Structure 1
Amino acid sequence: MADGVRKASRWQSAVRLLLLITAAGSAPSDEDGEVPAGAIGVVRGQLRLQKLDFWVRYPDYLANELMNEYEKALDEPYLLVLVAQILDSEEPDLRRLPMLRHRFGAFEPLDDVLAPLVEKGLVRKSQLVNRERVAEHRYWFTARGQEVADTMLDEAPSLGWYGERTQLVVQLSDGLGGEQLKRRQYLVRDYADTPWNSHIPPITEQARARLTQLRERPRTPSTPSRSAGDDLS
């Protein structure tokens, strides 16, 4: 951290993205055309993958988004439990891996990080070309990639946080494309006001203050609540 910015190693980034791609991927469809050899699932769109990765790398922004869901969901208490698990700990500082803000928001070049996954046959990349320009990047995972991801989670307890967090981010973004996720993230002023090519700043203290306000708010009647371990969908 010579420049004062925490950075993941290439191995850490590759593991995080493998877990994220296997969690967020969906089965190939007829619209995908030719499926790369061995591929069993795909994440469509670099923009979507970048936005999902942002929420993994910025726990305080994820907590803020969960509070948005809490306010929309008639005060489902299990959402505040999830938020508290993040903000009542040192996670926002210990787990944050800063990203730069580019034209379309949080961004980090992916080719170098994905290279070892592609080399080992865990991930494939393809492009949808429309009129001689790239219309969409696609990130495929293979059966071997899924096997490696599952094995890492089973045999390396230290990676459990990444497994849980990627699943939570995917549940939160269920059905949303990259543009929709980008718009949601731009609603946070600190994110939107970050100058281009600058690291997006944390919002930990603002998020903790908001959590305090929500805890003090009188509960409103709602449908039967779910537990903290239930899906968001």
Structure 2
Amino acid sequence: MLIISAAATPLPRPPEADPALAEAVAVLESQVRLQKLDFWVRNPDYLADELITEFERTSDPELLEQAHDILHSDEPHVRRYPMTRFLFGAYEPLDDALAVLRSADLVVRRRHGSPGRVQRHDYYLTRTGRDTADRVLDQAPEFEYFVERTRFVARLFDGLRGTQLKDRQYQQDEYRDTVIGSTIDSIATRVYNRLRQYAAPAA
């Protein structure tokens, strides 16, 4: 829910002709995009590598500092929640989590395509879902890390479609070469060594 809340595009009005979406306030289009954003939230080492790449492209020192903070904390080990390599990259079954969100009227999923051939899943955040996401820190401050991280990842990759995110992740050899059905390995050591070529950020 936090990823959908952070990355969903606001709707000017709920979609018509679908009573279940009468309270929808935003939508995150495509399961591919949701899965790829989830991967960066759950794998701080891969996120740090993207930050270094962005730093090399833009020369923005804040990006390098953020990568430094991740790699010099316990995040790559304590916060890492591995995902499995599937046909189209990192994948996590979503049905159980979405069933919980739907039963609480927080998120509604809609499939697009023909019977037996789903082309896209869209995830609609309801007004209740938005209110719940906005109140998370008040009611459960222990979720602060995940609230901030999902918002950060959503901002960093804002405007990129799911296929573009997938292509970026496939540029990582470890990610691309993982056997289908196996867990995608950490790259923390390699990314740390990559960071070392740059001066440490000023304190």
TM-score of the two chains, using structure 2 as the length reference? 0.92
Alignment match, 1:179: 163
Alignment match, 2:149: 165
Task: Deviation per CA, 1:148-196: give whole Å up to 9, x if none.
Answer: 1111122322111111110111111111111100000000101011000
Task: Deviation per CA, 1:43-72: give whole Å up to 9, x if none.
Answer: 100000000000000000000001110000
Identify the range of structure 1 (126-135 vs 75-84) with the bigger mean alpha-carbon deviation: 126-135
Task: Deviation per CA, 1:81-102: give whole Å up to 9, x if none.
Answer: 1111100011110011110000
In the alignment, the residues of structure 2 paired with residue 33 and residue 129 of structure 1 have an alpha-carbon distance, to the nearest angstrom, of 18
Shift of 1:22: 0.4
Which 5+ residue runs of structure 2 have no aligned equivalent? none
Judged with a 3 Å threshold, the aligned counterparts in structure 2 of structure 1 residues 145 and 105 are, in CA distance, closer, same or farther, namely same
Q: Give the 4+ runs in structure 1 shifted more than 4 A.
A: 32-35
Report matched runs for 1:27-46 at 5 Å: 27-28=10-11, 34=17, 36-46=21-31
Matched, 1:149 2:133: yes
Matched, 1:56 2:56: no
Q: Percent identity?
A: 45
Matched, 1:213 2:165: no
In the alignment, the residues of structure 1 paired with residue 5 and residue 127 of structure 2 have an alpha-carbon distance, to the nearest angstrom, of 10
Which 5+ residue runs of structure 1 have no aligned equivalent? 1-17, 217-233
Alignment match, 1:191: 175
Judged with a 3 Å threshold, the aligned counterparts in structure 2 of structure 1 residues 34 and 202 are, in CA distance, closer, same or farther, namely farther
TM-score of the two chains, using structure 1 as the length reference? 0.80
User: Given the alignment, which residue of 21, 24, 28 partners 2:7?
Assistant: 24
Alignment match, 2:57: 72
Judged with a 3 Å threshold, the aligned counterparts in structure 2 of structure 1 residues 94 and 139 are, in CA distance, closer, same or farther, namely same
**RMSD (Å) for aligned C-alpha atoms:** 1.7
- Count of residues in correspondence between the two structures: 197
Alignment match, 2:123: 139
Alignment match, 2:109: 125
